[in-house]
Amino acid sequence: MAKKLGQHTVSRRNFLRIAAAGVGGIGAASLLSACGGIGAPSAPASSGDTEAPAQLGVAQETVEVWFWDDSLAAATPGFEKLHPNIKVDFKKLSYDDTHQKLLTSLAAGSGAPDVCALEIGKVGMFTNKGGLVDLTSGAFAEGAKYKADMVEYKWVQGSTSDGRLIAMPWDVGPAAVWYRVDKFEAAGLETDPEKLQEMVQTWDDWMEIGRKLKAATPQTSIMADAGTEIFTAMVEQQGHGWFRDGKVVIVEKGTPALEKAVEFRKNKIDADVPWWGADFQAAMQQGALGGMIIACWMQGGMTRDHPDTVGKWRIIRAPGGDFNWGGSFLSIPEQSKKQESAWKYLQYICCTAEGQNAIFKNSGVYPAYRPAWDDPIYDEPVPFYGGQRAFRIWLEISDKVPTNLVSPHDQEAGDIVGAEVTKAMKEGKDPAQAMKDAQETLLKQVPGLSA
Amino acid sequence: MATASIPSAKRTKNQELWHEIRRSFWPYLFISPFFILYAIFGLFPNVYALVLSFKEWDGLSEQRWVGFQNYIRLFQDEIWWKAVFNTVWLMFGTLIPQLSLAFILAFILNSGYIRFKDAFRTAFFTPVIASSVAMAIVFGALFGTRFGILNYLLSYVGIPPIDWLGSAMWIKPAIALLVIWRWTGYNTIIYLAGLQSIPSDLYEAAKVDGAKQRDIFWHITLPLMRPVITFTVILSIIGSLQLFEEPLLLTAGSAGGSSTSPGGTDQAGLTTLMYIYNASFQYVKFGYGSAMSFALFVLIFGFSFFYNRFLGRNLTD
């Protein structure tokens, strides 16, 4: 799901950035593919064959929609059937282009689509400014009623500090601890997810299992890169991002996370292989990774790039709390002249079980809209996870993710922290000092912030 | 336009100008597309960026005039100076090997000892037009720490694996290798063209006079090639100070943090243009990004001027 690729996370975003720049990236192919369908190959309805039978005499209106992945198109036929006088013009842009062109057209005052998707890593860019309608007031007042139906953290992420909702939650990116049953079996470790879940209460427990895995099968590590996986997990378990109540909390959130990640590295628990690159793909290919900590969308990438691992993965919930990694929103620009139709479309996608599940069944994009979860599909055993009823687990995780407001400086903070994390992970810098330096750098870079 | 003006005491300066324009209406009309396009796509953006560099703007909110604040910040910005250092390092690290290698290759190709010249020429030039995606995948596989081909080869001579893309120390050499691989062929073609434009009677005359192959190279080939060399050096200075694609390709997937580390570990592969791009389009600080662009312009101008003034010209004279 290319759209989740972008996360506030590191390299993924970079990849998209590259791909977007038309420059490509190491392993870009696999990244982009990460959005591949969960089960059915995505057969997006192109706008060409979705010409709903227009009612004679009723004026047709076309709603232009921007998004960076085909998955959204899966809901178009259902919507056009329901609203025969509205046509959906789905424009697939790159991840970076979607956000940048939206920003440009908002600045220019024209050129924006009627509905535009935003990713969690980019929502912050739009929160402090005008340009996107508040989906809970005026003509959109009824949007407020969806608050109770949406997973809480997503609603907060789409909101501004002054209480407007500029981005309607669409999908979630629940993350968990993954492991490979075949590798665990070979090492004589517990393989049943429920029993393992009970054994793993803290990250230290997982480190212990990683140590045993490596001791029994020296070629296999329990994760690729603790600096990405342990660090992200422990930071996001405290809520998204580096700001809380307008204050910078890099030292507070980052220090324990980075210390733990360094401990994993020093004990040689992780493979020290960077995510997303050619080395990662090679490590996966050779079975050097017996586990990983990542979000639900990785299922698509694994199915496509490493089909031999399908059926061998299981998930358990992360020790120390559930967390989120990625996910998107839909927004309506103020300059749109078809806001009424756009609003109907947005509601269909984000706030109906029909729209959300049409997309889930096609591409495995997990709905943030809770009523959609009643569909029996979520209780089915999933072959990818060897029959584990993982869909339901992912939904349960997303319901427990801690909330936090996004900030316009999310990305810059993330980059600055990322640079310090590499120093600690690769060059042996003291983790506490690294996070202190990151906080100081951010305060220097963005005048007006306080810690 | 060599239209002679007709001096007239009666006309004011304005009238004179107007008269001139009318006289040369058609020529001006025919060359006007360039000026119109340049004004729209060249002049306006540049002037606007210059104005923007004195402002603070996030793309959506009101622009705010901040005077020289962006430039002052620039001087105190450690990341900027790190990026400048990286970029200048990469300039020296790529320019000299790349141009020497290109010259040697061109000389061999031109020497007459080689068959299938066209095939070689094409082969050398291919990297220039190679797709970046393919390049990224190939070099990712080359530079991989654990599963990379380069480290595999090194292991044969007993060298332990090098963390090419993950360590602050090796990322710059890795980028430099990619740049050299990519642009050597380009310069080879330019040198080859230069070598071929040297009249062969000069060589013949030298040979008749009993000059040795080495003397011919030092006293005929090299002096006559100097304008070409100057040209490639200036081009390479400009190109390497604006390095963007290559470092991005190699550092994008290698960051070790939960958040990006643009430019890889310790930002050791972050170039000025990458930082400008991030500041402008990722952190939406368009004013600051513009200020950095002009600082980069000064840097490029400085290096080019320095070379031209003190090295290039002396050699050609």
Selected for mutation to probe chain B from A426, A433, A435 (highest B CB count within 10 Å) is A426
Task: Give whole-number Cα distances, B47 to A383, B232, B238, B284, in Å.
Answer: 59, 29, 21, 19
Interchain CB distance below 8 Å, B60 and A106: yes
| pLDDT band for position A58 (cuts 50, 70, 90) | low
Q: Which residues 6+ apart lie within 8 Å of A443 measured at CB?
A: A248, A449, A450, A451
Euclidean distance between CA atoms B83 and B270, whole angstroms: 5
Q: What pLDDT, on the 0 to 100 scale, is given for residue B62?
A: 86
Least confident of A14-23, A241-250, A331-340, B15-24: A14-23
Cβ-Cβ contacts under 8 Å, B135 against chain A? 24
pLDDT, residue A161, reads: 87
Q: Å from A32 to nearest chain B CA?
A: 12
Alpha carbon B261 to chain centroid distance?
24
pLDDT tens digit sequence for A305-347: 999 999 999 999 999 999 999 999 999 999 999 999 999 999 9
* 3-state SS, residue B60: coil
Residue A28 has pLDDT above 70, yes or no: no
Q: How much is the average pLDDT of B256-277? A: 80
- A–B: how many Cβ contacts below 8 A? 218
If you classify domain B71-130+180-316 with CATH, what class do you get?
mainly alpha
* Strands A86-92 and A61-67, bridge-based pairing: parallel
Q: Are A243 and A447 in contact (CB under 8 A)?
A: no
Nearest CA in chain A to B248: A18
Q: Per-residue pLDDT tens for B207-256?
A: 999 988 889 989 999 999 999 999 999 999 999 999 998 898 888 754 33
A405, A156 in Cβ contact below 8 A? yes
Delineate the domains of chain A, giving CATH numbers in brackets: 2-172+326-380 (3.40.190.10), 174-324+405-445 (3.40.190.10)
Q: Which residues pair with A61 in a beta bridge?
A: A86
* Residue A369 three-state SS: strand
* Token pair 């001139």: residue: B20
| Global ipTM | 0.83
CB contact under 8 A, A409 and B252: no
Distances B315 to A395, B43, B225, B252 between C-alpha atoms, Å: 71, 34, 10, 41
Query: How far is it, in rounded angstroms, from Cα A336 to Cα A295?
Result: 34
At B312, list the tokens: 């290039």
Q: Is the pLDDT of residue B259 over 70?
A: no
Residue-level pLDDT at B313: 60
Hey, what are B135's tokens? 């390049």
CB A363 within 8 A of CB A74: yes
Residue of A nearest to B70 (CA): A445
Please name the residue ranges forming H helices in A22-161. 28-33, 76-82, 95-108, 120-127, 152-157
Sign of torsion, CA A97 A100 A104 A109? positive
For chain A, percent of residues with pLDDT exceeding 70: 87
Lowest mean pLDDT among A45-49, A76-80, A143-147, A345-349: A45-49
The residue of chain B with its CA nearest to that of A276 is B253
In this predicted structure, what is the pLDDT of residue A403? 93
Residue A11 confidence (pLDDT) above 50: no
Contacts of B281 in chain A (CB under 8 A): 96, 100
Q: Residue A292 in contact with residue A183, Cβ under 8 Å? A: no
- CA A312, A313, A314 angle in degrees (round to 5)? 125
Whether chain B has a CB inside 8 Å of the CB on A121: the answer is no
Query: Rounded to whole angstroms, how far apart are CA atoms A2 and A36?
Result: 8
**pLDDT (average), residues A403-427:** 92
Q: A213 vs chain B: nearest CA distance in angstroms?
A: 19
- What is the token pair recorded at A148? 């109770």
Q: Which residues contact A90 (CB under 8 A, 6 or more apart)?
A: A46, A47, A65, A67, A72, A73, A76
Give contacts of A427 with chain B, Cβ < 8 Å: 167-168, 265-266
Q: What angle do CA B143, B144, B148 make, to 5 degrees?
A: 90
- As beta bridge partners, residue A150 has A369
Residues of A with Cβ-Cβ distance to B276 under 8 angstroms: none
Q: Which residues of B touch A96 (CB under 8 A)?
A: 281
Q: How far apart are CA A101 and CA A94, in angstroms?
A: 10
What proportion of chain B, given as a percentage, has pLDDT over 70? 92
Q: How far is A50 from chain B (nearest CA, A)?
A: 33
Identify which has the larger pLDDT, A266 or B4. A266
